[in-house]
Amino acid sequence: MTKESIESEANLIIVGDVLTSGNVQTKIIKTHKKASSNKASSNCCFIKRANCSLYRITALGIALLIVICACFVIETIHDTKYIDEAANYGNNDEITLDPKHDQTYHKELVDFINKKANSTWKARYNRFATQSKYIFEHVITRSDSNHRPKNFDISKGSKEELLGDTLEHVKNLIDSTGGLVLPKHFDSRERWPLCRTIHLPLQQGSCGSCSIVSTAAVLSDRICINTNGTFQPQISIEDLLSCSSASCSGSNFAYTPIHYWITDGIVTGGPYGSYEGCKPYTISANCGAPCVLNFDSLNRELKCVKKCVSTYSKSYQEDLIKGKSGYWLKAGKYHTRFSKDFAVLSYMVEQSIGYEELIKRELYLNGPLLACLSIHDEFQHYDRGIYQENTYQNSTTLYGHCMKLIGYGVENEEKYFVYANTWGSNWGSDNGYVKISTKFLPEEVIGAIYVKE
């Protein structure tokens, strides 16, 4: 038997004594199949063990996913309960028109403005428009607070509650900016383009919260500006609305929310449906521009709930942001009844640079402002151009309205201020912004300063 005849994967067995006997038997037993069989068996076991491990990992993953989903559902239910407690409005998600909407009156108003030869603005019929005589027929929203009465008693207010740092700030602004040369056109969005909140549209929804929505926006912008863009929170409308003001019935004193921000602080919170921040806004924005204020459905108490939604990473106390200073640039004439310092403010400004110049300097140096004025029925139909108050002779004053003042300019020798309205980006043709002639100055203008600790 040759060496080559022995297969490599076999055992050679010799039977008998090679030296003493010629009877020698040889037998070749192939073993590679058995080895292969053992190897296959081993591989099979390995595959089975791998499959078992895979099944176990998959089962654990599914179980973990179920636990996460369960936690999410529980937190959502918890947050829903919180939202209901914070603002039980019965949010007006469906668009409803005022049943007393006088279509003929409003269409005549729009036609008159658009046909007027010397009109500086154009109107567009707004099916959500209403009339002042139908606005305040119902009981105004009540409010509840753990801290103070919502309707601030102006007659009993301290100097800090009434004026803040008004006289000092205005005097310094007049005296220290005499050599300041202002540009003909100015827009806060262009001067501070990296401040995110300056560019956001404002929407008060089905609530008389224009003052609070505008105030929260101004504070957010000012914080970004005062920190050179290093700190950009979005101040919570919800927190400011429920804890500092008269809630959906509006604030009877525009400076009160600013003073509250300085003394108590406000947490963060995004707009309706954003789920951003500690206390996001809970009032629906899907009800028109402007929303019809149904006081029957809004006649509920608003609770000042000092806790964040459970999905937020910070506690309420950890999230609080406090301001440094607040001040008036222009106060209503009736304010002089409550403090002689308001008369001092008026005299100081009118005998020097005047309100228009003062407001422009403040805008250019420090950023957006809270501005409140009386609007007429026709304002609801604004589309574009420079709005002139009371263009239609039969229009009446609708109500006091607050917006965010962000800039100024001039067109065809007509000077104007630029405002961000609180009726959403669908109002008008400029994403919710409006130009108003400086002939009609706002009745109240307020600013604030933030200093990061």
Q: Is 57 exposed, middle or buried (0-12, 13-18, 19+ CB in 10 A)?
A: exposed
Catalytic: which of 106, 376, 381, 401? Answer: 401
What Cα–Cα distance (Å) separates residue 50 from each residue in 44, 62, 63, 442?
Answer: 10, 18, 20, 75
Instruction: Give start and end residues of each alpha helix (H) in 280-390.
Output: 295-298, 316-319, 340-350, 354-366
Split at pLDDT 50, 70, 90, the class of 97 is low
In angstroms, the first-to-last Cα distance of the chain is: 98
210 carries an active-site annotation: yes
**Pairwise CA distance, residues 204 & 98, whole Å:** 18
Q: What is the 3-state secondary structure (H, E, C) of 126-148?
A: CCCCCCHHHHCCCCCCCCCCCCC
Average pLDDT for 143-161: 65
Report which of residues 41 and 89 the model is more confident about. 41
State the pTM of this model: 0.78
Residue 104: is it exposed, middle or buried by C-beta count within 10 angstroms (0-12/13-18/19+)?
exposed
Which pLDDT score is estimated for 64? Answer: 83
CATH 3.90.70.10 residue spans of the chain: 102-449
Between 141 and 410, whose confidence is greater? Answer: 410
Q: What is the mean pLDDT of the chain?
A: 82
**CA dist 433 → 118, 376, 392 (Å):** 22, 17, 21
Active-site residue among 92, 126, 226, 421?
421
For 405-423, the DSSP string reads: EEEEEEETTEEEEEEE-SB
Binned at pLDDT 50, 70 and 90, residue 151 comes out as: low
Q: Exactly one of 207, 210, 243, 278 is catalytic; name it.
A: 210
Concerning whether 287 is annotated as a catalytic residue, the answer is no
| CA-to-CA dists, residue 388 to 55, 111, 113, 133, 331, angstroms | 73, 16, 10, 22, 21
Question: Which range (24-38, 129-143, 251-265, 302-316) has the least confidence?
Answer: 24-38
286 is catalytic: no
User: Is 343 strand, coil or helix?
Assistant: helix
Task: Name the CATH architecture for the domain at 102-449.
Answer: Alpha-Beta Complex (3.90)
Q: Is 296's pLDDT higher than 70?
A: no
